Structure 1
Amino acid sequence: MKVFISMALLLATFTVAAQSKSDRKELDKLEALMEGYYSSEAQSKVDSANYFNISLRMVPIWKDRGHFLYVEQALASKPDKPYRVRIYKLSKRDGKFVSEIHTLKNEKDWIGKWKTPAAFDTLPFSEIELKPGCEVILEKKSETEYSGKTGIGTCPSELRGASYATSIVTITPGKILSWDQGFDKEGKQVWGAEKGGYVFIKK
């Protein structure tokens, strides 16, 4: 286990060192756009039949290992019981930005730790797991806008009878549009918003 952790840390250090200065600056900017506390309250008030009031928190962690964000998503009425707990890893690949999605093996131990990001310094890479095929590939549309999506059929999902999930994301200053959907093997949508993505406004 110690060898595995050491190798993981070594790989992360090498990855950070291999990034060009311009890439690091661009990733710093993207991370700064994404981090913060967001809410879909305004959208839910306009269309409560199709959208819930959801809180979204994204906090930078592991500053010395690259660009990572701890993420919690929860119904506003149940902030202490998030239905999604993730770690996003941001990188740049072939001129595009990549947001890799990781789950935490013992996620209940980390719920609410966005209040104290330094707590994640004790979390080893061996305690998170990559969700292959679920990464969001983002393109820089302007100095203040990034948008992208997952591949079609690349991100496995078993939620509510789904076969795969997709995500479409647009990031701009103070706002994130996120449309997550699940589809069965015939391509029929079985979960997620139907009219369009959730609009999260930064608080």
Structure 2
Amino acid sequence: MLLFFTSVIGLQSFGNSGGVESLSVSQTCCMVGDTVWFNFDADLYKKAESVKWFSSINGTLGGGVSLAVNDLSAGMHKIWVEIDDSTCYEYSDSILIKPYRPSDSIKKLVQWMTGYFSSQAQADTSTDKYHVDVRLRMRRIWPDSSRNFWIYVEQAYAEDTAQPYRQRVYKVYEANGQIKDEVYKIAGDSLFVYAWQYPEKFNNLSKDDLELKPCCGMYFDWDPQNHLFIANTSGQKCRAGIPGVSYITSESKILPNQFTSWDLGYNKKGEVVMGPHSPYIFEKRYNYSIE
């Protein structure tokens, strides 16, 4: 998804009605999925009730002060922005959209994330009541998706893997050099228990059957010194749906053969009311192919 955002940044005045002048963009070359900012004059932005976007490749793109475009075609776009219907201001600039190519970093991350994990070793030695033996399976689904990596997540207590307490789908993607994920609930999730064994079962699942958990995704950063990925949620907007818990935060570290996960629940005062004193430590027992 390519997102175009207007922002209030002072530029020189825009000139006469119908004229075509330079439109300031944050970058002139990017990949499909990156974010590009188009900067507008502050005064003109304030009085503009609508913005219409046009592309020399894709034609009419839509309207509004911000625009989301799915899979904007690769190529050199001439972008026109019509600011005001009454005076027909038009401004243009060119931007080269390259086809998306997964970076080595995201491929490494997804390979490390996927597999069969167990927290048994930690549970056998920890005195924290939260640290019990949990089995975690993360398997890539929809491998033909060219833009995103989709991962099915199934988490269950070791003594009852037939009754997982958590089933999710993660969408892992990158934009502007940053790797992120989104977290989705699955409609009819009980139908997909053990589906990590048969990822093709998800071919019958539509993306419309997924419900986004807003603000619960994480941002992944590479730690070169320790040779691992660090992931965190941002802000206080990931809702838990648990009585007494206002929001939750998540923190993870991803290594080739280990995955740590630390979820904490907070009340309205910002006090921790749920979660272990230290992260879960999952040891990888088996790798799944990401192809």
- TM-score between the two structures when normalised by the length of structure 2: 0.61
**Residues of 2 paired with 1:129 and 1:153: CA distance?**
20
Deviation of residue 122 (structure 1)?
1.1
Selected match of 2:154 from 72, 75, 90 = 72
Give the alignment's Cα RMSD to 1 decimal.
Answer: 2.0
Query: Quick check: which one's helix share is greater?
Result: 1
SS of residue in 2 equivalent to 1:155: coil
**Residues of 1 paired with 2:219 and 2:104: CA distance?**
18
Deviations, residues 58-108 of structure 1 (Å, cap 9, x unaligned): 000001123011001111111111111000111112322102111101111
- TM-score between the two structures when normalised by the length of structure 1: 0.86
CA distance 1:19–1:70, shift in 2 (3 Å): farther
Which structure is richer in relative contact order (CA contacts within 8 A, separation 6 or more)? Answer: 1
CA distance 1:19–1:92, shift in 2 (3 Å): farther
**Residues of 1 paired with 2:216 and 2:171: CA distance?**
12
Matching of residue 46 in structure 1 with residue 137 in structure 2: no
Q: Which shows bigger deviation, 102-111 or 153-162?
A: 153-162
Map of 1:62 onto structure 2: 142
In structure 2, give the amino acid aligned to 1:167: S
Deviation of residue 19 (structure 1)?
5.6
Map of 2:251 onto structure 1: 168
Matching of residue 153 in structure 1 with residue 233 in structure 2: no
* Runs of 5+ unmatched residues, structure 1: 1-9
**Residues of 1 paired with 2:256 and 2:227: CA distance?**
6
In structure 1, give the amino acid aligned to 2:251: I
Deviation of residue 183 (structure 1)?
1.0
Map of 1:192 onto structure 2: 275
**Residues of 2 paired with 1:98 and 1:26: CA distance?**
12
Larger radius of gyration: 2
Map of 2:184 onto structure 1: 102
Q: How many residues align structurally?
A: 189
4+ runs deviating over 4 angstroms: none
* Runs of 5+ unmatched residues, structure 2: 1-68, 75-97, 286-291
